[in-house]
Structures are given as structure tokens and as C-alpha cells.
Amino acid sequence: MNAHPEPAHVLGIEGLPLARIEQFLSLAAAFQKTPPPRMLTGKRLLLLFYEASTRTRTSFEVAARRLGAETVSVSAQASSIEKGESLLDTVYTLRAMAIDGIVMRHASSGAPRLVADHADVPVINAGDGMHEHPTQALLDGFTILRHRGSIAGLKVAIIGDILHSRVARSNILLLSRLGAELRLCGPRTLLPPEFAAYGKNVRLYGELEPALDGADVVMVLRIQMERMHESFFPSEAEYVSRFSVTAERLRAARPDALVMHPGPVIRGVEISAEVADSPQSVIREQVENGVLIRMAVLHTVLGAKR
Amino acid sequence: MNLILKNGRLFDPAQGLDQTGDVVVQGDRVRDLGTDIAAAGPGVLDCTGLIIAPGFIDLHVHLREPGFAYKETIASGTRAAAAGGFTAVCAMPNTNPVNDDAGGTAYLLQRARESGHARVYPIGAVTAGSEGEHLAGLGAMREAGAVAFSDDGRPVMNAQILRRALEYASMLGVPVIEHAEDLHLSAGGSMHAGAVALRLGLRGISSASEATMVARDLLLAEETGAHIHIAHVSTAASVRLLREAKTRGVRVTAEVTPHHCILCDEDATPYDTNFKMNPPLRTAADRAAVVAGLADGTLDAFATDHAPHAAHEKLQEFDRAPFGIIGLETALPLGLRLVETGQLSLARLVASLTSAPARAFGLPGGTLASGSLADLTVFDPAAAWTYDPAQGASLSRNSPFAGWKLRGKAIYTIVGGRVVYSARTPEL
């Protein structure tokens, strides 16, 4: 399947040209003003989800349908994948059914790269292991832009399980490229020192208050409860006491700081209900913007003539 | 049958020998070294411009038979060995079934006699099934021909079991080989824990997962007085611990692979499973430290950890693919690259492939001395070629060096006075 030049995959923020990032962001803004015509009528998009996902899969599905594309959903739980078929064999089989693009989520970092290396249609990474989740970062960047007009110079605090987070990785890469100052904060077990060199202008914090000090954006990550059993932190109570973003702690940030969360939100653990539902919270808007960003990505990648 | 190797550069670190001359082989022994020995005919090999060295001995090879013949067989693996200049390989026991009793050891030797192209020295498992719980039949395996014991592929995690294995093996006069890895520290990891793994979102295997076990193993060897051999050393910390232990007289030997001497984690093509091995490629500083350790003799042997896997097994998600790369056919040119770049002397490289491994495991060979076994490797240090695993003798292709321009190649591999490999076929 390698006879053609490589299609325009979107595998991560790393390696994505700045011009393309700006194109996605401005196209999403245009779609917000004027709903687009059904530019992808006749195209068929495969949604290949090896990990359970409601919001991302639905978001891509809605985006594809708004553009007129047909979607085919395959999840690991209900397919030959469960019977032990290899990833590439699954992709070859599905490719034979006239697919124009693949959106995939997989628990293994790099799995979309493996598929992209063997596919002659565009592959869009909808989250791979602990690696990247580029459309989430784009929708987060887009949301910040809607409110602040520019990202350069903003102080963005990212709080929580940075180590295991593909959302954090993509956001660090995107926001630091766009000129933000990144403050990463979490327990040392979930924040290895190598993260300081992960993007430009990144600093690490083991305490919440200095990380939030004067922040323009507070991005809170989900804490996976199973991590507790891996001894990354002693207990939920201790995590909450040190890292939960409460209204009181949020006072260290700018009064108009945006509060973000990629969802699903577990109120009372990584973020208090009061903060999650406050006027500063743009959590629901992130979901809405997700559809716009995914429309922009699908339109660009699938609509492009090859 | 007699064989005369004419006009080569006789190079034998065991004797401090480096001079142009001839080697006369009678039967399976070296009869004489000399100059201008008059000879002609089919038994004469012109070695002008070539180096004649003792046969290379690889302490760490996975031949995969029985159980995984689709990856490698004793025939294909030893053919690859011969093509790489190796006259003898030590075969790890993680086959199916595991070589953990005299029957398994005898089977391996029998198959090697039937289909081998190089000598095969069996390594028996330390524990039954390599499961780490009960000692395997060490004495019976030793009697059947095992030259060392190892649960390679995994460590002996239980220190008490390892201690007893060391004591028992020392009674039998052979070393225990340890795959030094703390499985709690490395759990779930698929490459070196560092900036590259973090960027790729891959779980890491820390340097400490190896070095903490090396430290433990050295203490046990010291306390028991037994001989431990540390396999595929990959970290600067391990080299430091080994150097210090050797200075104190602990009975320890160690090996390093060509890939850990040549590559580091930053060299790996992201998510290319041909760069996935255990221990993983470490940092540039670790790479420099293991090369220095090889150069000063802290690391005794240059061993390949030849680990064949079928293409479909490697063509998977990175974290799901098996660890390991093949290495028999690239070890010599990769070693010569270290010589060419001034990191290693030719004498030390050849010693690490010949006399040092022979001494470490008490194996015959390793020298050109008159009367010794006529296992010889004749190589051209300048031969330029491009490595294509598909053209190799191994059944597997999993190498990160595919497409590399290499210098140095085996021209004749001679086992017991018999030419088992020749790059100049018409002369055979």
C-alpha cells in the first residue's frame, strides 16, 4: 500500500507544520461563523477505536456528518480485534472496504504511526497511549484563542497526572510553540524532570499555589483512580489535599483565568464542583469547539486533492 | 584433511601475536605457525590482505530450537554464526520446552551435530522452566554438556535462589549468567526511561533496573566466592560497579553487545520495533561508558544477544512487540567501527571475541597457539558492504542496522579444521 506519496496524516502536534496548525484554527473559526456546506459528501471515514471513548468518537462522528461524510465505527470490543487479529491486518481488511480516512484511538503509543506507515489514506490520531492527542490540543488552543485573542505570553498551568497524559503532551507542544509559558504541576511521581525540556518555556512545580500564581489559563487533567494502586500517590484524600483545584486555591490565578478540563470531570477530586461549574469554566465550550476543530481537520485532510 | 592458510596477518591477542605468516592445520588442530610454508592445491587458502584470528566465540545467542523454528533453527542460526565469523555460540535455554534438564541439553547437542555449522555450547536454565522458583537439574545438565546456567530473558528475582544456584554451579565449575533486571522497576517498560521515552509516550526501563541487580549479584558472588557472569551490560552505573568489584577480586565476568556500543536511545527511529531490545538502548553517556568498559577489559566479551523474531511479531504496536534483534552477521563490522573511530584497539576487539569469552566460560579455542583447536576466523577488515538482513543466513530480519554501510567481513570461518563458511565459494 506504499506506492503513493504519504497522505496528510495528523499523528501529533510534533511534526505538524505551524502553517497547518494555523490553518486548522482559522478554519474552525470560519466554521463557527458560517456552517460549512457538505464538502465531504461521498467520503467514508473509519472510526477505529481500540479504547473506549464517548466524547472523542462522538465529536468526530458529528464533525464528519456535518460535512456530509459517512462514518463507519469499529470498536475493539466488538470485532475480530478481540480475537487476536493484528492491528495491520485489521486495517488492511477495513481498507479494502473503500475508506477515505482513518480516525484512530489506541492504547499503544505510536500505533497510528504504524498504521500510517502502511496505509495510503490519511490517518488522524484521536489519542494514542501516553503519546499525543492532537485534536484535543487544537480544540484547547482554539478555546483559549476565542477568549484571549492570542496565546503568546499567556501563563498556562497544567495540573495533575502529566506523565500518563497524551492531552498534556500535545498541549505542551502546541501552546509552547504558540508562545505560552507552561507551568506543569503534579506529584513528582507523575512529573519526571525530563518534562522541563519537552517544550519551550516549560517549568515544573510540585506545589499548586506557585503554579497557579498569576495564571491566565488553568488546565486540569483527569486523575485515573487506578493510578492509586500503582502507588503514584498515597491516597485520593492526599491528592485532593495537595492538588485539587478549589475556589480558594484558584484565587492565586488571575481573576479572569480560564478553567479547562478535557473531561470526563470527576468533581471533588482533581477539581471542585464549584470551580468546574464557575463562570470561569470553559469545559462545556471545549466540547463544542471540539466539533469545529475536528471539522477543520477532516475538511483539510480528507478534502485535499491527492 | 590438512589446510594451509597462506600469507595472512596472524593476529592472536592471547599470545600477543601480530605478524604476517601462514597457519598449518592438521586434522582438527593447529599444527604450526610459520612463514613461507611451501604449499599449493585445494587445501591452500590465500589470505593475503586478510587477518587470521582465533575463531570467534559468542557467549550469548538464541537459536530458538526447539519450539520456535519459524524464527530460527540450529541450522540457520549456526549458518548465520559462521557467516559472521563465529566458530562457536553459546545457546540460551529459553526455548520451548526450556532447556532445564539433561534431556534438553543432550537434544540440543544432538541437533547441533546433525545440522550445525558452528560449535554449539548449551546453557542450561538456572531454575525449572526458568520460572525462578526451584533449581533446575544443574548437575545433570552439566554432565550432559552445559557450559553455564542462565534464566536469560528474565533475571533470577529471588536472591536466595540465585545464591544457591551460584553455590551449586561453583561446585560444578561453571558460571551462572544473570540477566540483570529488577522486574518491578522495569514493569511495563519498552525502551530506556529518559527524555526520548517521555516524548514518545512509552513506559521506560530505568538504568537502575539493571544496576541495582548488578549490585545485588556482585554482593552474592562476593559472599559465595562463585563466578557470576553479567549478560548484556548496558548502563554506566553497571560498568562502574563491575570495575570496582573486579578491582576487589570478585569473580565476575561480563559481556556487552555491539548494539549497546554503537547506538543510543536517541538513534532509534521512533516506534521502529527493530530498535526494541532488552536491555534497551541507553543514553549516549551509557553508550560511551560501556565502550570504555569493553576497552579496559571491565567488560570481558563482545556478545551479540542474537535474538531472532519473525517479521509479523515485530510488525506490531511498539509496546506489544517482542524484545530483541539479530546480530551474528553484523558483530564484526560493528566492532571494527569502534576500532576505526579509535574507541577500541583491534587487539582488544579480537580478544573480546576470542580469548576472553573462551576464558570466561572455560571453553576450548580462543587462540592460534600450536596444538590448539583449529577454529579460525579469517576476515577482511577493509571489505565494504551494505547490510541487507534479507540476504543474511538467519531466518529472521529484525535488525536496526539494515541498510548500513559496513566495513569488515568474515572471508573464511573454519571449525575443527573444516571450512564451514567462505565468502569465496569457488575455492571450497
The shortest CB-CB distance from A108 to any of B199, B270, B318 is to B318
Selected residue of A2, A90, A91, A109 to mutate for chain B interface (largest B Cβ count, 10 A): A109
- Could you give the ipTM of this predicted complex? 0.93
The shortest CB-CB distance from A86 to any of B199, B316, B319 is to B316
**Inter-chain residue contact A87 with B316, CB threshold 8 Å:** yes
Instruction: Tell me, rounded to whole angstroms, the distance of Cα A271 from its chain centroid.
Output: 19
State the Cα–Cα distance between residues B251 and B237, nearest whole angstrom. Answer: 19
Min Cα distance B319 → chain A (Å) is 6
- Mean pLDDT lowest for which of A220-224, B75-79, B185-189? A220-224
Element (H, E) at B410: strand B405-415
State the Cα–Cα distance between residues B223 and B244, nearest whole angstrom. Answer: 15
Min Cα distance B83 → chain A (Å) is 32
Is A43 an annotated catalytic residue? no
Query: Each residue of B118-171: pLDDT tens digit?
Result: 999 999 999 999 999 999 999 999 999 999 999 999 999 999 999 999 999 999
Q: CB pairs below 8 Å between A and B: how many? A: 56
Query: Which three cell numbers mark B256?
Result: 556487552
Query: Each residue of B91-132: pLDDT tens digit?
Result: 999 999 999 999 999 999 999 999 999 999 999 999 999 999
Question: DSSP secondary structure string, B252-279?
Answer: EEEEE-HHHHH--GGGSPTT-GGG--SS
**Inter-chain residue contact B201 with A129, CB threshold 8 Å:** yes
Q: What is the pLDDT along chain A (306 residues), one digit of tens a residue?
A: 444 566 799 999 999 999 999 999 999 999 999 988 899 999 999 999 999 888 999 999 999 999 999 999 988 765 666 667 889 988 888 888 889 999 999 999 999 999 999 988 999 999 999 999 999 999 999 999 999 999 999 999 999 999 999 999 999 999 999 999 999 999 999 999 999 999 889 999 999 999 999 999 999 999 877 777 788 999 999 999 999 999 999 999 999 999 999 989 989 999 999 999 999 999 999 999 999 999 999 999 998 544
**Inter-chain residue contact A128 with B201, CB threshold 8 Å:** yes
Is A56 an annotated catalytic residue? yes
For the segment B184-208, the average pLDDT, to the nearest whole number, is: 97
State the Cα–Cα distance between residues B271 and A58, nearest whole angstrom. Answer: 28
For the segment B330-355, the average pLDDT, to the nearest whole number, is: 98
Nearest residue of A to residue B200, measured between CA atoms: A131
User: Chain A residues with CB inside 8 Å of B199's CB?
Assistant: 14, 169, 198
- Cα of first residue to Cα of last residue in chain A, in angstroms, is 15
Query: Each residue of B12-51: pLDDT tens digit?
Result: 999 999 999 999 999 999 999 988 777 666 799 999 999 9
Min Cα distance A228 → chain B (Å) is 16
pLDDT of A4: 52
For the segment B280-296, the average pLDDT, to the nearest whole number, is: 98
Which residues is A10 bridged to in the sheet?
A: A124
Nearest residue of B to residue A196, measured between CA atoms: B195
- The pLDDT > 90 percentage for chain B reads 96
The shortest CB-CB distance from A113 to any of B270, B312, B315 is to B270
Q: Under a CB-based contact definition with an 8 Å cutoff, are residues B261 and B334 in contact?
A: yes
State the Cα–Cα distance between residues A165 and A134, nearest whole angstrom. Answer: 12
The shortest CB-CB distance from B198 to any of A14, A88, A194 is to A194
Query: Using beta carbons and an 8 Å cutoff, which residues of B are at the interface with A?
Result: 194-195, 198-203, 270-271, 312, 315-320
pLDDT of A289: 98
Min Cα distance B395 → chain A (Å) is 21
pLDDT of A72: 93
**Inter-chain residue contact A106 with B317, CB threshold 8 Å:** yes
Residue that wins the pLDDT comparison between B36 and B383 = B383
pLDDT of B209: 98
**Inter-chain residue contact B320 with A113, CB threshold 8 Å:** no
Element (H, E) at B12: strand B2-12
The active-site residue, picked from A105, A106, A164, A249, is: A105
User: Chain B residues with CB inside 8 Å of A132's CB?
Assistant: 201
Strands B301-302 and B252-256, bridge-based pairing: parallel
- Per-residue confidence at B277, pLDDT binned at 50, 70, 90? very high
**Helices of type H across B68-204:** 74-83, 102-115, 138-144, 159-172, 183-186, 195-200
Q: Which of A264, A269, A253, A256 is nearest to A286 (CA)?
A: A264
The shortest CB-CB distance from A169 to any of B201, B271, B316 is to B201
Give residue B314's region: left, alpha or beta (phi > 0; psi -120 to 50): alpha
pLDDT of A5: 62
**Inter-chain residue contact A109 with B202, CB threshold 8 Å:** yes
State the Cα–Cα distance between residues A54 and A9, nearest whole angstrom. Answer: 23
Selected residue of B191, B198, B272 to mutate for chain A interface (largest A Cβ count, 10 A): B198
Q: Under a CB-based contact definition with an 8 Å cutoff, are residues B288 and B351 in contact?
A: no
The shortest CB-CB distance from B317 to any of A111, A132, A198 is to A111
pTM for this structure?
Answer: 0.95
Min Cα distance B272 → chain A (Å) is 9
